[in-house]
Structure 1
Amino acid sequence: MLEVSVPSIDRPFGVYLWPLFDAAWEKVMGYPAHDFDFVPGKTPMSTVREVVAALVTYYIVIFGGRAIMKNFSPLKLNFFFQVHNVLLTLLSLGLLLLLVEQILPIIVRHGVFYSICSHGAWTQPIVTLYYLNYLTKYIELIDTVFLFLKKKPLNFLHYYHHGATALLCYSQLVGHTSVSYVPIVLNLTVHVLMYWYYFLSARGIRVWWKEWVTRTQIIQFVLDLGFVYFASYTYFAFHYFPSLPNKGSCAGEEFAALFGCGLLTSYLFLFIAFYAATYKKAGKKVANRKVSNGSIAIDPKFTSEDLKSLKVNGESTGAKVAANSPRSRKV
């Protein structure tokens, strides 16, 4: 039943979402969500062999598909692309709200350190949501399928990030890292924004915050690394270098901590490089286009000395300079 109340620590949205999710899970799976248990080797997509097979298939499909599409015209898949992005927007939003509902009480009652480093923060409902989030990473691989079917370029960051993220989520699930909720919650937040932008773009709607999609991804990785580095540092310092200052041990397997730190670090550098190459380069192209068209706009606040420093005139460039004067209005 839907019970609405005043927002509280246990019901931050005024509605207790977990029972609704539990009932929906039972209708689909035949058993309640609170009975779910992630067991490597028994749960679907819970073994290294399954993960590797899925990712190898992914790369064969996208590179093989791109080669095949060279002989065909781009497919018009705008409707299906819109549906895909709306579904991922809603799925990301739903998982985000459910995770916030589970994690907020832990943070408020036990503190941030407990939430990222205690085995007590690795609860059954949270693991269930982690597992669903992990499965969505395979659904997101369809993003790349749309790209090669529409004959769009496949850049390294795109297919590296998609494949590696599925592997990252798997490693944290089997590694029982309590700090996982930080990257997952931030990633879901970014994906709500990102997939909604893709949907609007497919609808032909231009938005002013396009650049902020990449910016939020970079901010996400900076925050991720702050928490993950801290959790990893205090674990290794406590166990191997006790003379160093630390906060004690931290929940999670060592391989998961090291893999998470390495992969998230690579994401940060790659996304910064992508941002610089995409938006800075685009800015230069706009500036060059204005010059080539012969319409250079000069800020009215510029002084005559500023204009001289630009070394731009009609004889040397063939361009007309617009200044804040009667002559410029005539031009």
Structure 2
Amino acid sequence: MPLALQEYEFERQFNEDEAIRWMQENWKKSFLFCSLYAACIIGGRHLMKQREKFELRKPLVLWSLTLAVFSIFGAVRTGSYMMHILLTKGLQHSVCDQSFYNGPVSKFWAYAFVLSKAPELGDTLFIVLRKQRLIFLHWYHHITVLLYSWYSYKDMVAGGGWFMTMNYLVHALMYSYYAARAAGFRVSRRLAMFITLTQISQMVVGCVVNYLVYSWMQRGAGCPSHVHNIVWSSLMYLSYFLLFLHFFYEASHTRRRRGWRSWSWGRIPWLTGDA
């Protein structure tokens, strides 16, 4: 096994059977988390109406940096694993095989990924307390990703390795960008444009992977999934694609109308890192 795929002790000791069993028994709790999340948004915005906004610069830096470091490690570990499988066993195996959920290196990061979607809801807390604009894409994405990730992990569906690896990579870029801006560093807004383009690309690749899973599943090629999972996943990715594309268009339109210095690329639709 290449050096990049050597296991750390905590990865080796991780009990994926227990993790999968826990998710099979408790995945519906994701609905509870989403309900509490929605209630906190409504209640928080109501409470902040008559209050001064909070600055929260230092907590925002710490929050973004923590998620950035986590995502970077996740992207490196899962990316190394997926590239190893792709290069040694081919595309179909990388898409269809369930070893991502219980294999070396990746099994810990697969579970860490789905669990991380619950604390990531805290992104919105900064927007509410800082009285910044909360767009539909932000909270819609948080809710649907949490629900779909927990639901799919319990069934170890095909394609999960690519879905999680792509998301780790995008979040590594995104949260690093936010941490830098919240800390007061001058970061080129072209980087924000690039990150949004990677988010759009992620949705396209997600739809392609779903097509491959469905195609190989219909041929009896051992691609474990369910038609309803593929349908919901494809609709989710398509909705993200359209929403991110709309965001990209709006930001580009603002640039053309007001010029470079007024361009709103500082606000990728998660945290507003331009603290």
Report TM bin, short chain. Answer: 0.7 to 0.9
Q: How does 1:144-223 map to 2 (within 5 A)?
A: 144-208=124-188, 209-223=191-205
Instruction: Give 1:275's aligned residue.
Output: 248
Query: Structure 2 length as normaliser, TM-score?
Result: 0.85
Distance in 1, Cα, partners of 2:72 & 2:107: 17
Distance in 2, Cα, partners of 1:249 & 1:36: 21
Contact 1:99 1:185 in 2 (8 A): yes
Instruction: Give 1:28's aligned residue.
Output: none
Deviation at 1:279, TM superposition (A): 2.5
In the alignment of these two chains, the number of paired residues is: 258
Deviations 1:88-127 (A, max 9, x none): 0010111122213433332232211012113455434434
Deviation at 1:281, TM superposition (A): 2.2
Unpaired runs of 5+ residues, structure 1, are 1-8, 24-31, 240-247, 290-331
Distance in 1, Cα, partners of 2:99 & 2:171: 28
Contact 1:69 1:149 in 2 (8 A): yes
Deviations 1:214-248 (A, max 9, x none): 1111111112211222212332x336xxxxxxxx3
Deviation at 1:278, TM superposition (A): 2.0
- Relative to structure 1, the CA distance from residue 215 to residue 119 in structure 2 (aligned partners, 3 Å threshold; closer, same or farther) is closer
1:12 to 4, 20, 41: 4
Instruction: Give 1:259's aligned residue.
Output: 232
- Relative to structure 1, the CA distance from residue 94 to residue 77 in structure 2 (aligned partners, 3 Å threshold; closer, same or farther) is same
1:92 aligns with 2:65: no
Contact 2:206 2:237 in 1 (8 A): yes
- Which structure dedicates a bigger proportion of its chain to helix? 2
Deviations 1:4-38 (A, max 9, x none): xxxxx63237xx2x224337xxxxxxxx2146533
Query: Structure 1 length as normaliser, TM-score?
Result: 0.72
2:90 to 111, 135, 138: 111
Deviations 1:247-278 (A, max 9, x none): x3412233322221111111111100111012
- Point out the structure with max Rg over C-alpha: 1
Contact 1:106 1:121 in 2 (8 A): no
- Relative to structure 1, the CA distance from residue 262 to residue 134 in structure 2 (aligned partners, 3 Å threshold; closer, same or farther) is same
Distance in 1, Cα, partners of 2:206 & 2:63: 27
Distance in 2, Cα, partners of 1:76 & 1:176: 42
Contact 2:61 2:183 in 1 (8 A): yes
Q: How does 1:1-331 map to 2 (within 5 A)?
A: 10-12=2-4, 16=6, 18-22=7-11, 32-34=13-15, 37-40=18-21, 42-43=22-23, 47-120=26-99, 122-125=101-104, 126-208=106-188, 209-235=191-217, 237-238=218-219, 248-286=221-259
Distance in 2, Cα, partners of 1:214 & 1:10: 33
Amino acid at match of 2:8: P
Give me the identity figure in percent: 23
Amino acid at match of 1:11: L
Distance in 2, Cα, partners of 1:81 & 1:163: 21
**Which of 1 and 2 has higher RCO (CA within 8 Å, sep 6+)?**
2
Deviation at 1:158, TM superposition (A): 0.5
- Relative to structure 1, the CA distance from residue 223 to residue 97 in structure 2 (aligned partners, 3 Å threshold; closer, same or farther) is same
Greater Cα offset, 214-223 or 103-112: 103-112
Amino acid at match of 1:147: I
